[in-house]
Chains A and B, each alone.
Chain A
Amino acid sequence: DQQVKQNSPSLSVQEGRISILNCDYTNSMFDYFLWYKKYPAEGPTFLISISSIKDKNEDGRFTVFLNKSAKHLSLHIVPSQPGDSAVYFCAASANYGGSQGNLIFGKGTKLSVKP
Chain B
Amino acid sequence: DAGVIQSPRHEVTEMGQEVTLRCKPISGHNSLFWYRQTMMRGLELLIYFNNNVPIDDSGMPEDRFSAKMPNASFSTLKIQPSEPRDSAVYFCASSQTANSPLHFGNGTRLTVT
Partners in one complex: yes
Residues of A within 8 A of B (CB): 34, 36, 41-46, 49, 89, 95-101, 103, 105-108
A30 to chain B, nearest CB (A): 14
B33 touches A43 (CB 8 A): no
Q: How many A-B residue pairs have CB under 8 A?
A: 61
Q: Provided the pairs A34-B101, A89-B43, A108-B42 are in contact, do residues A99 and B31 lie with their beta carbons within 8 angstroms? A: yes
Is B100's CB within 8 Å of the partner chain A?
yes
0/1 per residue, B84-113, Cβ < 8 Å to A?
000000010101001111111111000000
* Chain B positions within 8 Å of A41 at CB level: 106-107
Q: Knowing A42-B106, A105-B42 are in contact, say whether A96-B101 is a contact too (CB < 8 A).
A: no
Which of B45, B55, B91 is close to A103, meaning CB atoms less than 8 Å apart?
A: B45
With both chains docked as a complex, state the minimum distance between the C-beta of A93 and any C-beta of chain B, in angstroms.
8
